[in-house]
Chains A and B, each alone.
Chain A
Amino acid sequence: MNRTTFSPRSPTASLAPVRLPETASQTAGPYVHIGLAPKQAGFDIFENDFGPVLVSPETRGQRIAIEGRVFDGSGSLVRDVLVELWQANAHGKYAHPADLQNLPLDPSFRGWGRACANFDTGVFRFETIKPGRAAGAGGVPQAPHVCLVLFARGINLGLHTRLYFNDEVEANGRDPVLSGIEWAVRRQTLIAQRSERDGVPVYSLDIRLQDTPDGGRETVFFDI
């Protein structure tokens, strides 16, 4: 660069660092299943479908099921929602190179799954393992949680939320993301309730897109 002509106030646009705008989001629409869950759309096409079962016989950790329903602002079930789940393994380690924690990987666990609400009952269901505790910001470990993202007709930008476990009271009380929610009363919308079916713990969570007439509170959604 010729220092005699350089001016920090040069209007030359080419001096600006490159930053492209992110491609804009659009709704997934009512037929999202065709692309992301073709069997549910009503046909068979791929040899290997991505689905809601995250475990194989070799996976380490406690088997659990996660079940949920999504409600709109009238209290009606959202039956065409697609939900994806991302979580750490039983040790709290994510299967991705950007996880720099010194914790063991589980070669039998990717940590990702995809489920659709049943068109009749509105229930979506994952079969997975209870995640361990991963590091959090500010030196405090996070409570066990799974990340969820929701896509559906009427949702313009995928909605991010988290699911925590109601049998982790102490960890939840110290979780930096939960305690980052200023309105303590809203934190409860992220806590799934444990029950048991055929010896397997089932954690259930109802997600409300808006406050509903039955008194249900709107779920906390995050800009991650």
Chain B
Amino acid sequence: MSDLPTAAASRIHGDFAQRDTAAHPAAYTPEYKTSVLRSPRNALISTLNTVSERTGPVFRADELGPLDNDLILNFAKDGLPIGERIVVHGFVRDEFGRPVPNALVEVWQANAGGRYRHRNDKYIAPIDPNFGGCGRMLTDENGYYAYRTIKPGPYPWRNRINDWRPSHIHYSLNGDGWAQRLITQMYFEGDPLIAQCPIVKTIPGEEQVRGLIALQDTGNDIALDSRCYRFDITLRGRRMTWFEAARQGDKA
């Protein structure tokens, strides 16, 4: 390999732009009580990207099953799960607006009554025998993803004694590089619990909170079948590298 990388290949392989940590929750957010003993006291140490951070795992379509993105059917045993049928779809882009293809999107959630299928969840609302609550998919070449599910219910949790989570779906994203790794939660337009939630309130800005709220997409409802929500996700983006040779040491 020559010292100067061929330009076309290297331009999309640059370092990731610095994360705007002020747009994310701080580690220590005492209104969300569990964070008090689980947050570092020291400042994070910022490092230059190396090949370790510029790269990340690559997943293949044949590793996923045909029903993995259909939470209505992927755990159905003797009937359909109970609850509001919805489709959630959107695009995964980077901060420069480029699509992120082949990203692994994994989702998990409670059932219609706010009960999780998890050995540690003891909430009184019942398990739905036909609902598992997890799904996964790869974005296509346009960064597009879609899945079908039951709209989750709110549920109570022991933070303060009467705190309730808004309806939400957890998201995990593996994009194109380790530096893009992201876990977040999606909320639903119009839910009054969003404004009261101590976990939502860990986010410092109103604009960032709005970015986690899926919008009703009535134009894409399926008549007499399912409602639709639209939720787009933005990951960190790679800088271009017009003028840089591979960094010294990357030539190894």
**CA A70 – CA B118 in complex, angstroms?**
21
Most chain B CB neighbours (cut-off 10 Å) among A111, A141, A154: A154
Tell me whether A136 and B249 are in contact (CB under 8 A): yes
Q: How far is the CB of B203 from chain A (nearest CB, A)?
A: 5
Q: How far is the CB of A55 from chain B (nearest CB, A)?
A: 15
Tell me whether A24 and B50 are in contact (CB under 8 A): no
* Per-residue contact bits, chain A 16-47, to B (CB 8 Å; 1 contact, 0 not): 01111111111111111111101001110111
Q: Which secondary structure dominates where chain B touches chain A?
A: loop
Say yes or no: is A95 at the interface (Cβ < 8 Å to chain B).
yes
Q: Known: A41-B118, A43-B117, A73-B38. Contact between A22 and B212, CB under 8 A?
A: no
The count of residues in chain A whose C-beta lies closer than 8 Å to any C-beta of chain B is 88
Which of B61-69, B79-87, B222-230 binds A? B61-69
Q: What residues on B are CB-neighbors of A159 within 8 Å?
A: 27, 40
Say yes or no: is B188 at the interface (Cβ < 8 Å to chain A).
no
**CA A35 – CA B117 in complex, angstroms?**
10
Most chain A CB neighbours (cut-off 10 Å) among B9, B12, B36, B181: B181
User: In the complex, which residue of chain B has the Cβ closest to the Cβ of A42?
Assistant: B119
A and B contact pairs by CB, cutoff 8 A, 30 listed: A18-B96, A21-B95, A21-B207, A23-B211, A24-B24, A25-B183, A26-B184, A31-B120, A32-B183, A35-B108, A45-B132, A46-B65, A46-B136, A86-B56, A96-B58, A100-B250, A101-B252, A136-B50, A137-B48, A149-B178, A154-B32, A156-B25, A156-B26, A156-B32, A158-B183, A181-B45, A209-B38, A221-B40, A223-B19, A224-B49
Q: How far is the CB of A76 from chain B (nearest CB, A)?
A: 8
**CA A211 – CA B42 in complex, angstroms?**
9
Q: What residues on B are CB-neighbors of A19 within 8 Å?
A: 95-96, 237
**CA A42 – CA B120 in complex, angstroms?**
9
Q: Which of A21, A41, A211 contacts B23 (CB 8 A)?
A: A21
Say yes or no: is A222 at the interface (Cβ < 8 Å to chain B).
yes
Tell me whether A138 and B248 are in contact (CB under 8 A): yes
Q: What residues on A are CB-neighbors of B216 within 8 Å?
A: none
Tell me whether B95 and A22 are in contact (CB under 8 A): yes
**CA A26 – CA B201 in complex, angstroms?**
10
Q: What residues on A are CB-neighbors of B41 within 8 Å?
A: 73, 210-211, 218
Tell me whether A101 and B108 are in contact (CB under 8 A): no
Known: A34-B109, A137-B49. 14 other contacts (CB 8 A): A22-B235, A24-B24, A25-B25, A27-B35, A27-B199, A45-B74, A102-B252, A147-B52, A154-B36, A157-B21, A157-B27, A158-B183, A177-B50, A224-B49
Tell me whether B50 and A28 are in contact (CB under 8 A): no
* Per-residue contact bits, chain B 90-105, to A (CB 8 Å; 1 contact, 0 not): 0001011100000000
Q: Which secondary structure dominates where chain A touches chain B?
A: loop
Tell me whether A111 and B57 are in contact (CB under 8 A): yes
Using C-beta atoms within 8 Å of the partner chain, give the interface range for chain B: 35 or more
Say yes or no: is A173 at the interface (Cβ < 8 Å to chain B).
no
**CA A19 – CA B16 in complex, angstroms?**
13
Q: What residues on A are CB-neighbors of B202 within 8 Å?
A: 26-27, 156
Tell me whether A34 and B118 are in contact (CB under 8 A): yes
Tell me whether B38 and A78 are in contact (CB under 8 A): yes
Q: Known: A18-B96, A24-B25, A34-B118. Contact between A43 and B38, CB under 8 A?
A: no
Say yes or no: is A151 at the interface (Cβ < 8 Å to chain B).
yes
Q: How far is the CB of B44 from chain A (nearest CB, A)?
A: 4
Q: Known: A19-B96, A22-B95, A99-B51. Contact between A155 and B65, CB under 8 A?
A: no
